[in-house]
Amino acid sequence: MSQMPSTLFDKVWDAHVVRKIEDGPDVFFIDRHFIHEVTSPVAFLGLENRGLSVMFPEHTFATADHNTPTINQHLPVADPLSANQLKALENNSAKYGISHWGLGNPKNGIVHVVGPENGITLPGMTIVCGDSHTSTHGAFGAIAFGIGTSEVEMVLSSQCIMQPKPLKMRINVNGSLGKAVTPKDVTLYIISKLTTSGATGYFVEYAGDVFEKMSMEGRMTVCNMSIEMGARGGMIAPDETTFAYINGRELAPKGAAWDKALAYWKTLSTDAGAKFDVEFNFDASDIEPMITYGTNPGMGMGISKSIPKGIDLKGGTATYEKSLAYMGFEEKEQMIGKKVDFVFIGSCTNGRIEDFRAFASIIKGRKKAEHVTAWVVPGSHIVEAQIKEEGILDILTEAGFLLRQPGCSACLAMNDDKVPAGKYAVSTSNRNFEGRQGPGSRTMLASPLVAAAAAVTGYVTDPRELM
Amino acid sequence: MAYDKFTTLTSSAVPLPIENVDTDQIIPARFLKATKREAFGDNLFRDWRYNSDDSPKKDFVLNNPIYAGKILVGGNNFGSGSSREHAAWAIYDYGFRCVVSSFFADIFKNNAINMGILPVQVSPEFLIQIFSAIELDPNTKIEVSLPNQMITIQATGASESFEMNGYKKNNLINGFDDIDYLQAMKSEISAFAAERAV
């Protein structure tokens, strides 16, 4: 090994290169592979057509999440196409000896929630899944990113994919976060500065005292959204917070294996003087609770501000005007006071226990606004159990909210949790694309605190006024 | 997924001058429920292409008979968002073999190549030239040569080179895919895995 200072990303990437192809990608070894019902069936079909098998079934983990109902999960799934996909995942997992946490399994939940909470996700690993929010797992100092179905087939059949090494970006956020400013606001702020394609071609390391002080769940929220600025993934160096989170989780290393792993994990940080291709610095005190006003996650703003003028932004005004027209908003308008029809708290971005604690902190002692339909969807059964144990369910019930069962739900609206055309939703999920939450739906992305404030007032409201 | 070989394609093109076309627009999530790779082209750009009663939206380019061809020309940052390969399948199944833009999202670009669709990244200036040429004559032919890594507007003779790494280029020209390559190095992978033993 050379003595050149190295980045966290380089250390993990270089340890997983099986072969370098000249004028081509690296053959890249994958430690952990998550699969779900939507992007895996065609990969298994591909294996069958080629007569191939799964090389390391013990490194692949299956969970059903994208296409599952969030009520009455004990009943047969009503939509025959959804039921068929769930059955295919179950059958394929059984056939190849892959562990499968299907509907009804106590470990079932959103893939990016259950991986970390069961100790499957560990520092220094390479982790992929046929889902772009696989970047979530980077919170542990892993290289984690989303792949397509052809690549799922590659991982199943050879535990490798072909990847050109991305460029390196570091984003430093230092200082103190203000009142009601959550990890979701930090990431929406960064994306609003970099735009929806500003990190395409890069792998991001998040650094600075804001991330050092952040909980693991907050770090997952930030890394989760890396893809929304085009980055393949984002990562944060593992530290005592990381080790404390992992220690004792069911599938995490134990005993001597833990000691050995821990010694390795402690080497996983960027050396002083290591070079990045590009670096950004932000001041935590500039960030306020955020909300999006347009149709990509880069179109976000501080909740007390006004919608910017298209002419002041980079990029074409035609696309900007199309986006505002879709939302039914106009330049220079305030977001505060806009009527909200739906509120969704959940998803791989904000579906963990800390998110529900934050939501409950605002709704406690208040009532859901009558005209608001709210979907409160835990990220997993483990989160659901925590909500009950901590008394959050009582707060929800008292305020007129119904707790649903785990799944991706209204984040992508593959199941019945769809926002109707023209209606406005404040959502803690990750994408506000046209029709993302149902054909014609209009999404405003925000934190659990902003979602809670909207749910009890029925309008876009600054959560600081309710705290 | 094995695919067609790609060498040189000469075709008229369909213009979609919209920025940040995300994969939820290319194919909405509610059409991802199949367990086979069939008929995704029917739902390509579903919500831009059809009204809620399934009648075609007259002003959308795919519903305008004067535009046709195997090349789709999109605005900047094409294919952002979800990793769904179904987006590439829908584009392929509809009949496109090449997508041109001034910038592509990473995962979409990989998925397209893995399907045998050639993503051609051109300069913003050249992209405007292509849109102008199509506006002037919807039948104008665009030539995309992978061996020469060159895209040409035949009517004006304007051309520009594009990037493609040697490995992927060889794959596309010969119809090879990554799975064949990886299968051929299984023993090397086994040895690597044994050494890591995470």
On the question of pLDDT at A1 being above 80, the answer is no
Provide the pLDDT for residue A206.
98
Provide the pLDDT for residue B4.
82
Q: How confident is the model at residue A312 (pLDDT cuts 50, 70, 90)?
A: confident
Provide the pLDDT for residue A2.
54
**Which chain A residue has the Cα nearest residue B25?**
A434
C-beta of residue A219 within 8 angstroms of C-beta of residue A211: yes
pLDDT per residue as tens digits for the range A342-384? 999 999 999 999 999 999 999 999 999 999 999 999 999 999 9
Given an 8 Å threshold on Cβ–Cβ distance, is A412 in contact with B114? no
pLDDT per residue as tens digits for the range A104-117? 999 999 999 999 99
Between chain A and chain B, the number of residue pairs with CB atoms below 8 A apart is 194
Given an 8 Å threshold on Cβ–Cβ distance, is A56 in contact with B77? no
On the question of pLDDT at B20 being above 70, the answer is yes
Helix axes B86-94 and B106-115, enclosed angle (nearest 10): 50
Q: How confident is the model at residue A297 (pLDDT cuts 50, 70, 90)?
A: very high
Chain B contacts of A314, Cβ < 8 Å? none
Q: Cα(A188)–Cα(A296) distance, rounded to whole angstroms? A: 11
Q: Quick check: B88 contacting A, CB < 8 Å?
A: yes
pLDDT per residue as tens digits for the range B123-135? 999 999 999 999 9
List the one residue out of B86, B67, B55 whose CA is nearest residue B16: B67
Q: How confident is the model at residue A317 (pLDDT cuts 50, 70, 90)?
A: confident
Q: Cα(B43)–Cα(B28) distance, rounded to whole angstroms? A: 8
In Å, how far is A183's CA from the nearest CA of chain B?
20
Given an 8 Å threshold on Cβ–Cβ distance, is B77 in contact with A196? yes
Locate A115 and state its tokens: 């991986």
Out of A38, A158, A413, the one facing B183 most closely (by C-beta) is A158
CB neighbour list of residue A72: distance below 8 Å, 6 or more residues apart: none
Provide the pLDDT for residue B94.
98
pLDDT per residue as tens digits for the range B53-96? 999 999 999 999 999 999 999 999 999 999 999 999 999 999 99
Helix axes B166-174 and B106-115, enclosed angle (nearest 10): 30
For the residues A15-29, what does the mean pLDDT come to?
A: 97
For the residues B113-141, what does the mean pLDDT come to?
A: 97
Provide the pLDDT for residue A313.
78
Q: Is B170 helix (H, G, I), strand (E, B) or coil?
A: helix
On the question of pLDDT at A334 being above 80, the answer is yes
C-beta of residue A49 within 8 angstroms of C-beta of residue A78: no
Q: How confident is the model at residue A444 (pLDDT cuts 50, 70, 90)?
A: very high
C-beta of residue A139 within 8 angstroms of C-beta of residue A250: no
Q: Quick check: B198 contacting A, CB < 8 Å?
A: yes
Given an 8 Å threshold on Cβ–Cβ distance, is A230 in contact with B166? no
C-beta of residue B15 within 8 angstroms of C-beta of residue B73: yes
Q: Cα(B127)–Cα(B18) distance, rounded to whole angstroms? A: 12
Does this model's pTM top 0.95? My answer is yes
Q: Cα(A250)–Cα(A96) distance, rounded to whole angstroms? A: 23
List the one residue out of A147, A158, A151, A129 whose CA is nearest residue A52: A158
For the residues A51-67, what does the mean pLDDT come to?
A: 97
Given an 8 Å threshold on Cβ–Cβ distance, is A200 in contact with B105? yes
pLDDT per residue as tens digits for the range B28-51? 999 999 999 999 999 999 999 999
Question: Sign of the CA dihedral A298, A302, A304, A308?
Answer: negative
Provide the pLDDT for residue B196.
86
